Structure 1
């Protein structure tokens, strides 16, 4: 991997802190609608990432079918890392927006555009994931009073609201980690891909977008949760379509939430 030259480092340092805009609480609905447009325009690369998400979810479920305390931690942790794995979908939307060819191959290595800062962000989400995975196991050990079931048995207990104390603690702890991951990732990777923004400024801008637009962010989080749950209830097969929709919609969230950089003035001949 090539190291950035002095000109690239100076350009990154000269970037202003992203300006966060106000959006209406209904904005996430338009993001999802525009995301379906990207999915129709670029079906092959979008569905490729959707199949990858679904395959990973199915693999986790299959491997840990009789140890669901690990499955739940890994599956929910996988969602914490979703913004990192969805980089290719952001790039598809970026290229489609610019009228460029939305081929799959260029999106596979898009992380190289700002590898250092994307790596820092990946480490942050990775640490959140590891802490959550450990916390999930602790909650199971302390509050799960029944014999560990297989997948179908676990889902049956959830639907019947059995072991309510465990459910309240588990989802309460999970909500804390989900809010942390959501807060730092609302627009982080799109900023790093589109502007070569540094990781710290990108995460701070994401937190600012959340605090400045709480109503819209609550609607957006609920939409993400709803689409994800629908995907899980179809035993991950729905994720083939729904994860690309979430990824593309995240790009449009970035476009609406962050003020574009001013156009550079054209150079005039001396």
Structure 2
């Protein structure tokens, strides 16, 4: 970890990073909740918009069980970019500026080039994961896939596809860890400092290396809350996504400054 951090420092202009305690992610959620409460209208608009998109994605994938898990993990992949407007709301709220929907969208436009390039990168990662996922299922899943329920029961409870499940978890988990490390504070940093994408990603990776346990807690909280959103057929995502978006801004401010 230390060698990796030294390499990043030598090749990128990484700001000083703070170490935080493993309990700190809960404070980020509390401050994120405060931001959402103080800017409820704008936050809910973003939450509704992305919940609708998420529901459409699930509706598309439901008749195609082999794509369903990819759709869920894909939502996690694009989540950091989807919440960019919420980072802008928290940034403006912190500085006492207007936090209206129009003002936050103006902030997004001011960073459109950076966000566009980052979006391309995340899209490529999503395509890569979809292809890898398809290959894994093609190699290890031999039954028909008549519907999502039978598909899930066959993989999770039959005991016939433990190798498939293990391969999927290992490969998907590795990709998720890489994406999380590279993005956890990258987009808030790009929007706050107008830094380039690669420096922001390097800083994000360094932040994870500096705070491995707190970031593990943060990742677990994100997965748990997103799971609640999916379990409620995206209704809970109206609250979950704004909460995580605002909280991520405070994670950035806590660690990067």
Q: How many residues align?
A: 245
Aligned position for 2:183: 185
- Quick check: 122-131 or 81-90, which moved more? 122-131
2:129 to 129, 132, 147: 132
CA contact (8 A) 2:86 2:245 kept: yes
- Deviation of 1:74 after TM superposition, in Å, equals 2.5
Aligned position for 2:66: 69
CA contact (8 A) 2:186 2:201 kept: yes
Distance change >3 Å, CA 232–CA 244, structure 1 → 2: same
- Deviation of 1:156 after TM superposition, in Å, equals 4.4
- Deviation of 1:78 after TM superposition, in Å, equals 2.2
1:37 to 34, 38, 55: 34
CA contact (8 A) 2:35 2:90 kept: yes
Whole-angstrom CA distance in 2 between matches of 1:47 and 1:152? 32
Matches within 5 A, 1:190-209: 190-209=188-207
- Deviation of 1:26 after TM superposition, in Å, equals 0.9
Q: Does 1:165 align with 2:163?
A: yes
Whole-angstrom CA distance in 2 between matches of 1:158 and 1:35? 37
Whole-angstrom CA distance in 2 between matches of 1:204 and 1:140? 33
- Find runs of 4+ consecutive structure 1 residues off by over 6 angstroms: none
Whole-angstrom CA distance in 2 between matches of 1:27 and 1:111? 28
Q: Which runs of 5+ in 2 are unaligned?
A: 1-11
**Which has more radius of gyration?**
1
Aligned position for 1:17: 14
Matches within 5 A, 1:44-59: 44-59=41-56
Whole-angstrom CA distance in 2 between matches of 1:171 and 1:208? 25
Whole-angstrom CA distance in 1 between matches of 2:229 and 2:112? 30
Aligned position for 1:216: 214
Aligned position for 2:5: none
CA contact (8 A) 1:113 1:196 kept: no
CA contact (8 A) 1:73 1:133 kept: yes
Whole-angstrom CA distance in 1 between matches of 2:20 and 2:228? 26
Q: Does 1:106 align with 2:103?
A: yes
Q: Does 1:27 align with 2:24?
A: yes
**Deviation digits for residues 108-161 of structure 1, max 9, x if unmatched?**
243332333333222221211110011111111112233214234444456636
- Quick check: 80-89 or 93-102, which moved more? 93-102
**Deviation digits for residues 186-205 of structure 1, max 9, x if unmatched?**
11111111111111111100
Whole-angstrom CA distance in 2 between matches of 1:42 and 1:121? 26
Aligned position for 1:264: none
Q: What is the aligned-residue RMSD (CA, Å)? A: 1.9
Whole-angstrom CA distance in 1 between matches of 2:50 and 2:113? 24
Whole-angstrom CA distance in 2 between matches of 1:62 and 1:82? 18
Whole-angstrom CA distance in 2 between matches of 1:59 and 1:156? 24
